[in-house]
Structures are given as structure tokens and as C-alpha cells.
A and B are shown apart, each in its own frame.
Chain A
Amino acid sequence: MKFSDIKKSAEDEWHALQQGNVPLIVIGAATCGRSAGALGVKKTFEEEFQNRGIQAEIVEVGCLGPCYAEPLVNIIKPGGPNILYKNVTGKIAVELVENYIVNDNPLPEYALGTLGDSKVDGIPVLMETPFFKSQARELFRNSGFIDPTNINHYIANGGYSGLAKALEMEPAKVVEEIKASGLRGRGGGGFPTGMKWEFCFNAPGDEKYVICNADEGDPGAFMDRSLLESDPHALIEGMTIAGYTIGAGKGYIYCRAEYPLAVKRLRNAIAQSKEKGFLGENILGGKFNFDLEVFLGAGAFVCGEETALIASIEGGRGMPRHRPPFPAQSGLRGKPTLLNNVKTYSYVPKIINRGADWFAGIGTEKSKGTAVFALTGKVTNCGLIEVPMGISLREIIYDIGGGVSDGGEFKAVQTGGPSGGCLPASHLDTPIDYDSLRAAGSIMGSGGMVVMDQGTCMVDVARYFLDFTQKETCGECVPCRLGTKQMLNILEEITEGKGKPEDVDQLVEMGEAIKKASLCGLGQTAPNPVLTTIRYFREEYDAHIQNRSCPALLCKELISFRIIPEKCTGCMICARACPTDAITGEKKQVHVIDQSKCIRCGVCLEKCPKNFLAVECIAGQLSEGEQ
């Protein structure tokens, strides 16, 4: 079948669904929606419709981004508006069927917004609400709208048009187009994608490979998972275009085994793509053959490094090797290999389809296009966001994210995961682009953005990331293997109240050395969280070391609990709850905590009734007998 015919029939199916004569219920059912209860809500709708004898269509889609409002449900009545409902529970689902589907009250109190041109009294237009207004959803354009298990939905929304167009171009022309777009690798490093493609294109050899790094391992990042679950065909199309361009016949998607739904969706999408003739032999009736395989990662963070990932696909320990030769010359099985991240490949079909100028028109001079972040931590509106490059951290955290959650005070924002850094309030106006973030000591990374408030201890955060990298170091090179261990030991001592005055200088010296001397990106960036917290939050290190006190009230050895005599009514509740019998005092007498017995578990603070609030947690160590 010709592509235009495939497209026509896909569009017919899509329009029939959107403008059908029965109500359409669209449920966000990516992993995040599911953990918030989306599948239970779906079941409730099904049961309600069955009991009431209502004909309706229910479709599962991927993730729209506002995770704080999951589960999300769109309802489109025939000829009616498209309304998105937030935090839908079984109870709300029943109410929606009764009030809105059966009668005509759209229950604005449960709505997040309207989509498309629809306007309903009392419900804002979704794309004009603060969470969406400053976003530019290009990569995630389909996410949350199309059924990721139905290839026709993707095709009807412009899918595979990029491939059809690319197949009519000379491969060299495709390389030019990617170069002109200014696309840079979205895995973290930010290497110009077009140059990488050009190296592979120019590399001699009949056998070449295309690999996608979908081994998203940064703690605090989930955008690749979301994209794979919500719009898997974008990656497949991007990789197929890459295969055509560099002359590869086989591609691998190296995906985390911890993402079972993403793997399932990918495998399903590959099968559908083959069936339609977009993958396999004689793609779209031409001479180009290309096959894709999903390879399950077995859990090793270092496999995010390209040579380590290749070693893993070859069946070995995922350990990096010296470069050069770069994979573009000698990669998988010694053949030229193109390796990019999920997001990088997923941009490609859109760039080919809409032209390099379109992409280059978004963003800043050196960082083109959009940036995707998993906005999490102590922020009101957690979620997955896509913004134009160049937007400030402040706009992301305060406008889109709605500020710090629970009335907290902003302390720091962490980008780039274990390879990135923590930036303080004075850097909130830093624009989001590769170079500005690097100059501030952090990196763009794969897109985790974690907001921290006064209750986050920066020394503990540094210790947390070092603990992670130290566990994940592959052990090949000495600076990374031993250096991270030594740094971790020092950080542990500081958080346990055993810090020494020379510790901070030693951390800086070791950190700089590890950055310079490590073999791969893991070691070269591992000290970043420590170095940035020292650079911007030195006073917290000093408080831990010199005053033996944790200002964030988190490090157990550096805090104390005390009972405020004026507020204690002697109710015995805390004394009974204390696991170490550290609290003494008779009924109706003021209680006292024996500091030598106290293990600072905080149970007394939790148990003290809200109308007394007689227990407080303070920074520093109270000595025995001190109150």
C-alpha cells in the first residue's frame, strides 16, 4: 500500500473516534497514571456504562504531564466539548457518568481544563492554565492524546510522514537537515547530533548499527519512560530514519528492564510498524531494509555510557573503554555505530517533516529546540514538562511548578541527577540551556529537576548522590572506584557528626582530581553534586563540622528533641511511645527526654497531640541533662 493510502485510512479511523456518536472516555494510563489508580477508574467507567446500558468508547492513552493531577480522564460527548478531569477516583467517575454523560452538567469543580477550541463556563482552557502556558509541547505533542498501542493514531497525527519524506531524500541531505536544525544530544552531554550522524555516514563499511540508549538511570528522571509508554512510534520512526541515513540494517533499543510497560509498548509498536511496512524488508516499497530489536538492560547505571552500553549488548560486563576509536568508527561488533538517546531520535521525524528551520527557530542561539524535565521534589505541581530552551529556572519552578509545596521555602534545585549540581536561589534566573547550566556548575543532563526546600540537608544530598555513584561505579578506573569511596566516607562522617575542619578542602581537592582523571562520564561528573553544594552551601558544611548541627534537622546525629516544659501537660503519650524509654515523668508532670538514651527517631514529636505541640526538634546536640 502507498503511504498516502495508509495515512488516509488512519486519518479516517482517528476522525471517526474523535467525532463518533457515542461518548469518548480517554484515560491517562502510563505508569504514573496507573500508580495513581487509573486502571481502577477505567473499570468503574466500564461497569457504570454496562449497568446503565450506555454505549461508550474507552481509550487508554499515555501521559499528558501533570502528574500531580493523576488519574486524568478526558470526556468528549458527541458534538460536545473536550474536558479533562483531574484526580479522578471511582466515586468521581460515577458522578461524572450520572451528572455529565447522562445529564448535561459538566461538574466544573472536578475539571482541570478544556482542550481544543471548546469553552465551558467555569472551566479554564487547559493550555492557558499556569502549568501549560509557558510550555512548548513538541516532543510530547502526542502524549496523552493518542492510544500508544494503535499505530493508526500515530499516523493520523503526522506519524511516519517524516520517514516517507526522508526515504525520498539523499542520505547526505538528511544529515545536512539534522545539522542545520542544531539538534544536540538529549542524553546529557549535548554533543551536536548532526555531527555524530555525519561521522557514521562517512564511516566506511557495509555493516553499521543504530542504537538507542533507553537505559534511563538517573534517579529523579522519568521522561524517557513516559515517552516510550505514550508515543513509542516516534522513537521507532526516528531510528529508522537514522538507519536509512547512515546505511545501517539493524538497530537496538537498549531499555531498562525496570520499565515493563515501556518494553511492552515498544515491542507492540515494532510489530505494528513491521506489519504496515515501515520496518523490515523493502520499507515503503523501496530498497531499504531495517530491523529493530529491544534489548533489556540488566541494571547498571554505567551502561548509560556509550561504550559500556555496547559492551553490554555484546554480552559482557558493561564497562566503558578508552575512546578513540569512537563508536562512530568502531562500535558494536567493531562496526560503525550510531548511538543516541530516546528523545534525540524522537525529535528526528518532526525535524524532517517540518524542516530544520522550524526546530532551529525554537530555543537559544546555541541550544535549539525544547527541553524536557521531570519536575519533582518539593514543588506543588509535579510533572513532566517541555519548555523552549532559554526559559529560566524561576519560570519553571514558580510559574509552571506553582512554587515550593506545602508553603516551604526554596533552597535549591538539582538538575542533571548524579552528574549534575544543586543551584541556589541566587541562580534562579539562570536560563535553561547547555552552556549556562554548565557555567553554573550543573548540567542539563537527561532532564531530572528536583526542587529542595529548607527541610533538605545539602550535605545529605551530596552524600546521597555519592552513595549512588559509588555503588554504580564499574570499578575499572582507580579515580572513580576509590575516589568516590573516599569522598563518600568523608561525607558520611560529616553527616554523622564526626567531620574534621580539613574535610571540605579535601573534598574539593579529590573532586577536582576525580573529574580530571576518570575514564568515562560517570567518574568525570560524579563529584559535581559535592562540588556545587560546597560552592553554594558552604555554611551548611561548616554548621555540620564546626557546630555539630544540621540546620535542615535531618542528620540524626546532629539534631535533638526536647520537651517544652511550658507546653507539656504530662499526658504520658510520648513516654509510652518512646521505643528506648528515654522519656521520664509521671502523669500530669512535665516530661523530660534523657538525651543519652534518645535515638532521635522522632516518634515523640509525631505522637504529641496537635493541641499541645510540646515536643520540638532543634539543630545541634543537647548534652546530657541539658533541656
Chain B
Amino acid sequence: MEEQLNAILSSYEKRRDNLIPILQQVQEEFGYLPEDAMLKVARAIGMPESRVYAVATFYTMFRFTPMGKNRITICRGTACHVRGATRILEEVEQKLGIKEGETSEDLEYTLETAACIGCCALAPCIMINDDVQAKLTPKKVEEFFGKEKKHEVQ
């Protein structure tokens, strides 16, 4: 971790302004913000640790626990909401056996929701890693996540 952190820190001027971009890079590298990394960032840019933590916890993008291999994001935007996103979220939660904000024990999946992913015309939609899946139905949820579940049961 030391080495990757140093590489990130050396590519930025050690200014308070750069705190958010640095944290974003750290998360990009590790998938979340490890406590040790935040401590090191605080020391490097000369900010109190409490402030770094305060900033990191303010923004929804930052995570403090490791991510699953696959990141599932359910859009909860207005268009998705009126077209049944709540039902989709329930179905995915049931299929994966985890709730919103959780990661499965085998670190296969992390389930998140987003305020809006901006594909409102194709609602309801979800993102599986970086790909948007449009016009979701409980049947499509079954196709995406059902098999995995069956596999585990066997």
C-alpha cells in the first residue's frame, strides 16, 4: 500500500485544495479509503486527521469498507421511481441476499443506490459495474442475478 500511496501523493501538490482529488485517486486504487491511507494523506498535506475524515464522510462517493468484485448500482431517480425502481431494488436485494449499502460475504457483490444515473428515458435502470442496463423488469433481474444464486445453492 505504501508504494501505491506514495505514487499518488507525489503526483499532486500538497495543498488542501487537492484533498478531494487525492482521496478520489486513493479510492480508485484500493476500491475504498483504508484508514491508514487517510492518516497518511492527512500527514502529507498537513491537515488534521479529523478534517480529512470529515471531508471524506461528507461525500457519498467515498467508501470505508472494501468493495465487492461487482458493483451493482440501482438508480432511484424520479423517472425510475415512478416506473418501479423500488420493486427492482427489492428483487435485487432478495436475489443477492444483501441490502443497499452492503457487500456480500464472498466479496462478489456490492449493492448501492444512486440518486440518478441520468438515463431517465430508459427507466428503470441499474448499473452493473460501468454498464447501464435499461428498462429493468423483475424477469431481467432474475436473468442477471438469479443464476448466480442458483449456483451458490448447488
Contacts and interface: CB of A to CB of B under 8 A. Distances in A.
Interface of A: 31-32, 34-36, 67-68, 70, 216-222, 225, 257-260, 295-296, 298-301, 312-319, 374-378, 382-384, 414, 417, 448, 450, 452, 456, 461, 464-465, 468, 472, 474
Interface stretch (B64-72, B102-110, B127-135, B145-153): B127-135
Interface in B43-80: 54-55, 58-62, 76-79
Contact of A299 (B55, B61, B125): B61
Contacts of B76: 219
Contacts of A221: 116, 118, 120
A450 B60 contact: no
B130 A260 contact: yes
B132 A316 contact: no
24 contacts: A31-B119, A218-B116, A219-B76, A220-B79, A221-B118, A222-B121, A225-B118, A257-B61, A259-B118, A295-B20, A298-B20, A298-B60, A299-B61, A314-B16, A315-B17, A315-B18, A319-B58, A376-B120, A376-B123, A377-B78, A378-B82, A417-B78, A450-B82, A461-B81
B109 to A, nearest CB: 19
B19 interface: yes
Contacts of A35: 119, 122, 125, 131-134
B16 A300 contact: no
Contacts of B59: 298-300, 318
Given A219-B76, A299-B60, A318-B59, A34 B116 contact: no
A378 B81 CA distance: 11
B37 interface: no
Contact of A298 (B16, B61, B83, B134): B61
Contact of A317 (B58, B61, B77, B82): B58
A338 to B, nearest CB: 19
B8 interface: no
A468 B120 contact: no
B122 to A, nearest CB: 6
Interface in B1-46: 15-21, 23-24
B130 A376 contact: no
By Cβ-Cβ distance, the 3 closest A-B pairs, closest first, are A67-B121, A220-B78, A298-B59
A378 B83 contact: yes
Interface of B: 15-21, 23-24, 54-55, 58-62, 76-79, 81-83, 114-123, 125, 130-134
Contact of B82 (A216, A296, A374, A377): A377
A468 B132 CA distance: 22
A317 B132 CA distance: 30
B89 to A, nearest CB: 13
Contact of B132 (A34, A377, A472): A34
A376 to B, nearest CB: 4
A437 B118 CA distance: 24
B82 A312 contact: no
Given A221-B116, A464-B78, A315 B121 contact: no
Contact of B55 (A68, A257, A315): A315
A67 B58 CA distance: 34
B101 to A, nearest CB: 12
Contacts of B19: 315
Nearest to B45: A315
B58 A318 contact: yes
A456 B85 CA distance: 13
B58 A300 contact: yes
Contacts of B83: 377-378
Which of B114, B122, B134 counts the most A-chain CB atoms under 10 A from its CB? B122
Contact of A296 (B24, B114, B115): B24
Contacts of A314: 16-17
Contact of B24 (A257, A317, A382): A257
